[in-house]
Amino acid sequence: MLLSTAAWPAVEAYLTRSKGIVIPIGSHEQHGPNGLIGTDAICPEVIAQEAAKQAGFMVGPTFNVGQAQHHLGFPGTISLRPSTMIAALQDWIASLTRHGFTRIYFLNGHGGNIATIQAAFSEAYAPYSLRGEPAPFVCVQKNWWELKGVAEACKRFFPVGDGAHATASEVSVTFYRYPEAATAPAMSPTIAPNGPIRDAADYRLRFPDGRIGSNPLQARADIGAELVAVARVALIEEAAAFFAED
Ligand code: NI
């Protein structure tokens, strides 16, 4: 069930049988010459929505803008400051728990979000922890590429040049979802350089076309479909176990 396309009585009825919800969370940031700006939001969204279709759990709207400051040297990137993102996530969590969702599973698509999501969880728990009371809800985050079997599948399909940013794997998932957006512009070098991630200006100098360590010209929609299938199975299993916790 998708929260965005459900009416409130259906949500109320859902809450009588489950307290769990999956929130895809990502970013809007450059992903190299052929990667879509929304890649990190699209990947967890596709996986969560396909899993929900099969398993019947609730998927919330995608929190689709995150920590992308280091990508701001490229047009199209939108970033939240850490303090803004923490505040927004707290309000999402508080709204959901207000209505009885007590198991909130964030399926993340962007490595840069990890620290801020964890900080938001700490802020959400803080009032309870400081009062010595148990928090009436639990939040977890999982990166989609760390779901069971996904890393192995990425390695099998892309043994060379999957990379660290604008990866062949994530671009494949987006081409599966939006095949009409698939392009293959020239890229040089074939495999992008690796290096440290610092501020936006430094990033653009080190990684002039936006990629890190990747050759996304390997991306294929049919491989994206296979990656989503592996991730979907793992998410269904993980979400079911998490939602069943006492
Ligand atoms: Ni990405």
Taking only the tens place, the pLDDT of each residue in 140-178 is: 999 999 999 999 999 999 999 999 999 999 999 999 999
Task: Collect residues with CB below 5 Å from ion ligand 1.
Answer: 39-40, 170
Output the CA 199–ligand 1 centroid distance in Å.
17
Residue 110 in any domain: the answer is: yes
- Determine the pLDDT at residue 198: 96
Say whether pLDDT at 64 is over 80: yes
Name residue 136's amino acid.
Answer: P
Output the CA 121–ligand 1 centroid distance in Å.
22
Residue 245 in any domain: the answer is: no
Say whether pLDDT at 246 is over 90: no
CB atoms < 10 A from the CB of 152, how many? 10
CATH code, domain with 66: 3.40.50.10310
- Domain extent at residue 169: 3-240
- Determine the pLDDT at residue 22: 98
CA-to-CA distance for 181 and 174, rounded, in angstroms? Answer: 8
Average pLDDT over residues 236-242: 98
Q: Which residues contact 97 (CB under 8 A, 6 or more apart)?
A: 104, 136, 137
Task: Quote the number of domains for the chain.
Answer: 1
Output the CA 116–ligand 1 centroid distance in Å.
16
Residue 246 in any domain: the answer is: no
Output the CA 95–ligand 1 centroid distance in Å.
28
| Residue tagged 């490229």 (tokens) | 74
pLDDT one-digit tens code per residue, 72-90: 999 999 999 999 999 999 9
Output the CA 229–ligand 1 centroid distance in Å.
19
